[in-house]
Structure 1
Amino acid sequence: MSTSTIIITIINISIASLLAVGLTPLFVWWERRVSGFMQDRTGPNRCNIGPLRLGGLIQSFADMLKLVFKEDFVPSHIKYRFFFTIAPVIVFICSFLSFATIPFADVLVIDGKEHIMQAIPSQLGIMWFLAFAGLSVYGIILGGYASANKYGLLGSIRASAQVISYEAAMGLSIISVIISYGSIHLTDMVNAQTGTYLGVIPMWGIFIQPLAAIIFIICAFAETNRAPFDIAEGESEIVAGYHTEYSAMKFGLFQVGEYAAMSASSAIIVTLFFGGYHIPWLDTQAIQSNMNYVIIAIMILLPIKIFIFTKWMKKNNKTKGNGDQLREKETKILTIAFWGLCLAIVGLLAVFLVTGLGSNGVNIATAVIQVGTFLIKFFLIAFVYIWVRWTVLRVRYDQLQMFGWKVLIPLALLNIAITAIVVVLGS
């Protein structure tokens, strides 16, 4: 195995690990702040390390450390301790592995050798995601059953009812997408979304398969067990459902698994329906052919965005008569840090413009730009997940079943028939 292959493999695994698990503290903070904004309150913003509060982000790291060092209490009435212990691990591992085949950029060519930009270079593509995303529910069912608790058992039963409500519709919606793209490999699916309609509208999956996109996104929300489909835990009805008896990092693994599932679902939605790593109207070849112009555009836009962000930060971190000087110190530190990073990036890009990148350099720069594009779309979809959670009320499990079997499945079957007819007539 060549050195470049080892390095790229490590980078891919690191990106997947960061997005699937490493962003959990950020998502927890983001969720708290968004919910606070929607409910007209501040949210966590006091926990600090010296002058650094990072808008309350430090609170998420404090909560994470609290779970790590908290007593791991197992109730004495639990008989199946092995299953009780392994359940959150199943949820975490399955949610984490469902991210493994998501492509972050187009195939990277270095010294004539192709490298697939995903953590596990498997050809299974969307089938890998469906397999592991579907398996995670077994951890929820097992955790509730092994808890020997009525609330936990009710949560397990609800999870079982939920999975049969959306899984069939999700699989059927994917069939229409596969027919349209002609491949199950996710990189091929993303590359099939290049080009435009009428020279303006990107050929994204959301425009090619709008009905399949709606069905899949609804089912993906149900897959993550988040509101309005947090039926299995329903804290206002059954305390905490399947994780009522869990504490410390066993409870933490359930929560990390939920955010990992949200990350994987956000990534797969971006990949299937929003052009993946492609910039609208610019495919891989277009970026490589116009790399100098792309670099100049980044050099212009990056300082503008940093200027706007730091201005906003200064406006929101002003001391309001309470004698708190920490925010002003934090603002100064962060402003210097952001501008230092910005100048370093702009300087590096200027060096590239002067000296040239070469063939490998252009390919690597293209991959970096595409990873950045993927991340922007990924965070936007993740924000929608958080937005919906604090906007839509929880549905009942029987309502989800009726909606899944009477609405989503018939629509998915109709969409398959229409897609097949269009593809056959167009071939």
Structure 2
Amino acid sequence: MSTSSIIIIIANIVIAVILAVGLTPVFVWWERRISAFMQDRSGPNRCHIGPFRLGGVIQSFADMLKLIFKEDFTPSHIKYKFFFTIAPVIVFMCSFLTFAAIPFADVLVIDGKENIMQAIPNKLGIMWFLAFAGLSVYGIILGGYSSGSKYGLLGSIRASAQVISYEAAMGLAIISMLLSYGSIHLTDIVNAQTGTYFGIVPMWGIFIQPLAAIIFIICAFAETNRAPFDLAEGESELVAGYHTEYSAMRFGLFQVGEYSAMSASSAIIVTLFFGGYQIPWLDTQAIQGNMNYVILAIIILLPIKIFFLTKWMKKNNKAVGSNKSREKETKVLTFIFWALAISIMAILISFLVVGLGTNGVNIATAVIQIGTFLVKFFMMSFVYIWVRWTVLRFRYDQLQMLGWKVLIPLALLNIVITAIFVVVRGS
């Protein structure tokens, strides 16, 4: 194996680890700030390291450190201590591994050798996601059952009933997508979403299969056990549900697993229905053929974005009374952002002057596509948070009715319509 292939594999693994696990403190902060904005309050903004508050991000890291150093207490009434210990690990690992099959960019060709841009290159594609997404519920069931608590047991029973109801509809929705794309490989599915309808509308999955997209997104929300599908941990009835008896880092693993599941679901939704790493109206060949224009556009847009970002920071970080720490933070961050922007612009200008070569163009294309994927990924993650703080929790009967009486019949109908269309078009 060549050095370039090893570097690419390590880079893919690092990206997957950061997106699936490393962003948890950021997502916690983001959720707090968005919920605070929706409820017309400030949210976390006091915890700091010197002058640095970073808009409240330091609070999330402080909470993470608290969980790490907190005493890991096991109640005396726990009968199945092995299951009690391993349950959060199962949830965490399954949620993390669902991210392994997500393609971050098109196949990267270096010195004539193709490199798949996935953390764990495999031929299972969407089947990999379904397998590990379904397995994660076993950790929830074990955690609730082994805790010896009625609240935990009821939470695990709810989780098992929910996953049975919504995995069926999700699988049926995926069948419609597979009939449309003709492949289970996620890179092939993303590449099939290039091009446009009538020269305007991107050929994304949400326009090809709008009903399947709606069904899959609803089921993905249910798979992550987040509101409005968080009956397994409904605090108004079950205290905290399946993780009532957990504390310290074992409780933390459940929380990290939840955000990992949210990240993986956001990534798979973007991959299946929103073009993945593809830029609208620009496929991989178009980017490679117009690389100089793409670089020039980045050089022009980058300082504009930094200007509005620093302006927003100055507006929202004014001094409070005699405390000037926020202004110090703003000045330091403004300097850092502009220094980074100028450095990136200088590098890009040197690329325009000197040229990139074949390998350089391919690497630059992969970097641009990874950036495109990240933008879509964060937008979908925002939708997850937005829905959580907007929609009320479903009652148990409402949840089951939606799964069995609405989503599954619609998914079956969509399969029939899709199959008829594929057969007619094929003939």
Deviations 1:337-387 (A, max 9, x none): 000000000000000000000000000000000000000000000000000
1:141-220 equivalences in 2 (<5 Å): 141-220=141-220
Aligned equivalents of 1:324, 1:91: Cα separation in 2: 44
Contact residue 161 and residue 397 of structure 1 kept, 8 A: no
Contact residue 162 and residue 397 of structure 1 kept, 8 A: no
Aligned equivalents of 2:317, 2:18: Cα separation in 1: 29
Identity rate, percent: 82
Matched, 1:235 2:235: yes
Residue identity opposite 2:136 in structure 1? S
The residue aligned with 1:262 is 262
Matched, 1:417 2:416: yes
Residue identity opposite 1:289 in structure 2? G
The residue aligned with 1:388 is 387
Shift of 1:324: 1.6
The residue aligned with 2:342 is 343
> Which is worse superposed, 145-154 or 393-402?
393-402
The residue aligned with 1:357 is 356
The residue aligned with 1:313 is 313
Aligned equivalents of 1:112, 1:236: Cα separation in 2: 59
Shift of 1:396: 1.6
The residue aligned with 1:82 is 82
1:129-148 equivalences in 2 (<5 Å): 129-148=129-148
The residue aligned with 1:328 is 327
Deviations 1:176-225 (A, max 9, x none): 00010000000000000000000000000000000000000000000000
Contact residue 235 and residue 241 of structure 1 kept, 8 A: yes
1:107-126 equivalences in 2 (<5 Å): 107-126=107-126
The residue aligned with 1:408 is 407
Aligned equivalents of 2:364, 2:2: Cα separation in 1: 20
Q: What 5-or-longer segments of structure 1 have no aligned partner? A: none
**TM-score, normalised to structure 1's length?**
0.99
Superposed CA RMSD in Å reads: 0.5
Shift of 1:397: 2.1
Matched, 1:56 2:56: yes
Contact residue 91 and residue 138 of structure 1 kept, 8 A: yes
Aligned equivalents of 2:256, 2:397: Cα separation in 1: 27
Shift of 1:398: 2.0
Shift of 1:236: 1.3
Aligned equivalents of 2:157, 2:275: Cα separation in 1: 37
The residue aligned with 2:45 is 45
Q: Secondary structure at the match of 2:233?
A: coil
The residue aligned with 1:7 is 7
Q: Secondary structure at the match of 2:152?
A: helix
1:272-287 equivalences in 2 (<5 Å): 272-287=272-287
Deviations 1:61-111 (A, max 9, x none): 000000000000000000100000000000000000000000000000000
Aligned equivalents of 1:312, 1:334: Cα separation in 2: 12
Q: Secondary structure at the match of 2:100?
A: coil
Q: What 5-or-longer segments of structure 2 have no aligned partner? A: none
Residue identity opposite 1:51 in structure 2? P
The residue aligned with 1:16 is 16
Q: Secondary structure at the match of 2:131?
A: helix
Residue identity opposite 1:41 in structure 2? R
Residue identity opposite 1:352 in structure 2? F
Shift of 1:161: 1.3
Deviations 1:243-278 (A, max 9, x none): 000000000000000000000000000000000000
Residue identity opposite 1:339 in structure 2? W
Contact residue 111 and residue 360 of structure 1 kept, 8 A: yes
**TM-score, normalised to structure 2's length?**
0.99
Aligned equivalents of 1:424, 1:291: Cα separation in 2: 40
Shift of 1:299: 0.3
Aligned equivalents of 1:163, 1:273: Cα separation in 2: 22
Residue identity opposite 1:409 in structure 2? I
Contact residue 16 and residue 100 of structure 1 kept, 8 A: yes
Residue identity opposite 1:122 in structure 2? N
Residue identity opposite 1:217 in structure 2? I
Shift of 1:160: 1.2
Q: Secondary structure at the match of 2:121?
A: coil
Residue identity opposite 2:399 in structure 1? L
Q: Secondary structure at the match of 1:100?
A: helix
Deviations 1:108-156 (A, max 9, x none): 0000000000001001000000000000001001000000001001101
